[in-house]
Structure 1
Amino acid sequence: MSLSPRFIAVILAFLISLITTTFLAFVDGVSKGMLFVSAISSFISSFFLVLYAVDILVFREVNKMYRTIHKLKMRDFNMAPRKKLIRESNPLKTINDEIFVYVTKKQKEIDELKKLELFRREFLADVSHEFKTPIFAAQGFIHTLLDGAMDDEKVRERFLRKAANNLDSLDVLVKDLLVLSQMETGDIKMNIIPTDLRKLTLGIFSRLEHIAKNRNVSLKVKPDDMPEVWIKADADRMEQVMLNLIENAIKYGHDNGKVIVHFSESKKYIEVEVKDNGPGIPHEHLNRIFERFYRIDKSRSKEIGGTGLGLAIVKHILNAHDTKIAVMSKPEKGTTFSFKLEKAYHQQLPEAKTDDVVNQLNP
């Protein structure tokens, strides 16, 4: 029921009139006419007094507060249409609802800002640490050479190579940070063309063959009855995605293990899975492995190498392809990264190389 000021005034005036008339009825010598006049006069006077008290002193002040909150809410959140809110005739209930909604949303904003602040502090600490290691190492080698080690030809060459390796690592880190920043701000545009993902994967296997041999890890593409896997994607960026996932599977898996890239197709999509039979990822880390610089085992990650940005870049590249990456892992049973990409329908030209076909499809 809508509790308007007039409705409240009528109810209260009627009750006051009823009580007054009831008391007068017990007084000797009071006639029915007098009771009627008393009832009417008390009702009218009570009605106007209550209406003034409720409407002027309460409702109008509350409405001012409501309009202020409403303006703030409309500006901050673009909430429900103004007409719908103003039709509410009980400002006491409305202002309570508005304050609750407004405070709830502001609290969410505050919580989000706290998370961002914590993330910013962690990111700055991680960046400082990642930059410090190669810079200090290269600085140490160069200062050692300047202090006299330069005269020894063998020491000079060895120290210069180590300094160069550390500076190369720093260069890779800066490039990854730049790519990640451009991804997050949308500065990098995807060049979507038909791409044979199976051929691209086999090319990555060739590039990583020496790493796999060092750990005796077998690399396999399945199924065998899919000689071509055509998708709509940015070929360069998808190569970056597959390189990161396959290289991680080799480096963080067991020696004498295996890495399988599995393709399956539906009516509209190709599903890609990169599997290994390594030690797996503990459950408490699964939600954070796509964060920048997040490492599960920091000591082992340092030995293996890498910038700690690979999976973050993978996530952003796949998001730019309107898809998401998922991960499933069980201790000592391996890890599987999976995602879906839209199929590309391709008719291969006779006696044409795949690269030539791609060039013809994307002049």
Structure 2
Amino acid sequence: MSLSPRFIAIILAFLISLLTTTFLAFVEGTTRSMLFVTSISAFITSFFLVLYTVDILVFREVNKMYRTIHKLKMKDFNMTPRKKLIHESNPMKTINDEIFVYVTKKQKEIDELKKLELFRREFLADVSHEFKTPIFAAQGFIHTLLDGAMDDENVRERFLIKAANNLDSLDVLVKDLLVLSQMETGDIKMNLMPVDIRLLTMNIFERLENIASDRNVTLKVKPDDLSEVWVNADLDRIEQVMLNLIENAIKYGNEGGKVIVHFNESKKQVEVSVRDNGPGIPQEHLNRIFERFYRVDKSRSKERGGTGLGLAIVKHIINAHDTKIAVMSKPDKGTTFSFKLDKVVTNNAPAELPEQTVQEGID
């Protein structure tokens, strides 16, 4: 039932008139004419008094509040049109519900902005730190040479090599940041084509052979009987993904351990997994390892190189292939990164991969 100001005024005026007339009926000497006049007077007076009170002091103020909410709200809030407010069975409850919905959504926006602000501060701090290290190192070597060490031929060559290495690291960092920025803004488009990901993996094994030998790590592809695995992917980008995951598995796994790349084929997709038997990643870090510059063990990560952007780039590349990357890890059991790619069944696929151009050393 609609609780308009007029309806409320009529009900309350009738009740007041009824109570007044009933009370006077018990007073000795009261005539019917007096009761009739009193009843009509009480009804009319009460009606206008209640109508003014409810309409002017309550409903109009509520409508002002409602109009304010409509000015502030976003289009997707799906609020009830203002003109229907007075026809609600409980307008105060309606306005309360609308305010609750509005405040809840605004609070979510505020929480999200706080998270973004925290992320921005952390990112700026990380970028400043990552830039500062190679710049200060190269600066120190060069100033040492300018201060007189240049006269010593052995010192000069050694310091110049160290300065050049630090500047090379800075160059890799800048390039990784540029790639990541282009990925996030969608400026880089995937050039999908048939790719033999098994052959690509074997080529990467050859490129990382020296690193694996230094740590006595065995590299293996499973199943053993697969001669080729064709997927639909961007060759350069998927090579970047595999290079990053395999190199990380070698660097952060156990010395004398194993790195296994496993291909699991179904009718439409191929699941690719890169597994090591290293120390694993603690559970509290799993949700953050794909963040920019995030390192599980900062001291060990620094010792083994890398920009800290590799896994963030990997995530964006895999997402650009309309799939997701997953990670599973147990302490002292190893870590497995896995993702799925669309399978390609063709007899006309290229037999060889073009020259590899992806940079090594991505962390």
**Do the two structures share a fold, i.e. TM-score over 0.5?**
yes
Q: Could you tell me how far apart the structure 2 residues matched to 1:6 and 1:268 are? A: 68
Report the 3-state secondary structure (helix = DSSP H, G, I; strand = E; otherwise coil) of the residue aligned with 2:77.
coil
Structure 1 vs Structure 2 CA RMSD: 2.0
Aligned-residue offset at 1:278: 0.3
Aligned-residue offset at 1:113: 1.6
Aligned-residue offset at 1:130: 0.8
1:143 equivalent in structure 2: 143
Q: Could you tell me how far apart the structure 2 residues matched to 1:107 and 1:251 are? A: 43
Which string of whole-angstrom CA distances, capped at 9 and with x for unpartnered residues, describes residues 146-185 of structure 1?
2222222222221111111111111000100111111111
1:288-327 matched pairs, under 5 angstroms: 288-327=288-327
Amino acid at match of 1:27: V
1:102 equivalent in structure 2: 102
Amino acid at match of 1:335: T
Whether contact under 8 Å (2:329, 2:336) holds in the other structure is: yes
* TM-score, normalising length: structure 1: 0.91
1:361 equivalent in structure 2: none
1:359 equivalent in structure 2: none
* TM-score, normalising length: structure 2: 0.91
Distance 1:268-1:51 versus aligned 2 partners, 3 A rule: farther
Q: Could you tell me how far apart the structure 2 residues matched to 1:312 and 1:60 are? A: 55
1:223 is the counterpart of 2:223: yes
Q: Could you tell me how far apart the structure 2 residues matched to 1:333 and 1:318 are? A: 25
Amino acid at match of 1:164: A
1:6 equivalent in structure 2: 6
Q: Could you tell me how far apart the structure 1 residues matched to 2:240 and 2:3 are? A: 65
Aligned-residue offset at 1:82: 5.6
Aligned-residue offset at 1:340: 1.7
1:201-220 matched pairs, under 5 angstroms: 201-220=201-220
Q: Could you tell me how far apart the structure 2 residues matched to 1:94 and 1:37 are? A: 40
Whether contact under 8 Å (1:275, 1:334) holds in the other structure is: yes
Give the fraction of aligned pairs with identical amino acids, expressed as a percent: 79
Q: Could you tell me how far apart the structure 1 residues matched to 2:344 and 2:49 are? A: 78
Aligned-residue offset at 1:69: 0.8
Whether contact under 8 Å (1:70, 1:98) holds in the other structure is: no
Q: 2:84 aligns with which of 83, 87, 92?
A: 87
Aligned-residue offset at 1:61: 2.2
Alignment size in residue pairs: 351
2:76 equivalent in structure 1: 78
Deviates more, 1:124-133 or 1:143-152: 143-152
Aligned-residue offset at 1:195: 1.8
1:1-363 matched pairs, under 5 angstroms: 2-32=2-32, 34-73=34-73, 76-80=74-78, 83=81, 86-88=83-85, 89-90=87-88, 91-348=91-348, 353-355=351-353
Q: Could you tell me how far apart the structure 2 residues matched to 1:201 and 1:208 are? A: 11
Unaligned runs of 5+ in 2: 355-363
Report the 3-state secondary structure (helix = DSSP H, G, I; strand = E; otherwise coil) of the residue aligned with 1:115.
helix
Which string of whole-angstrom CA distances, capped at 9 and with x for unpartnered residues, describes residues 89-128 of structure 1?
3442232222222222222222222221111111111111
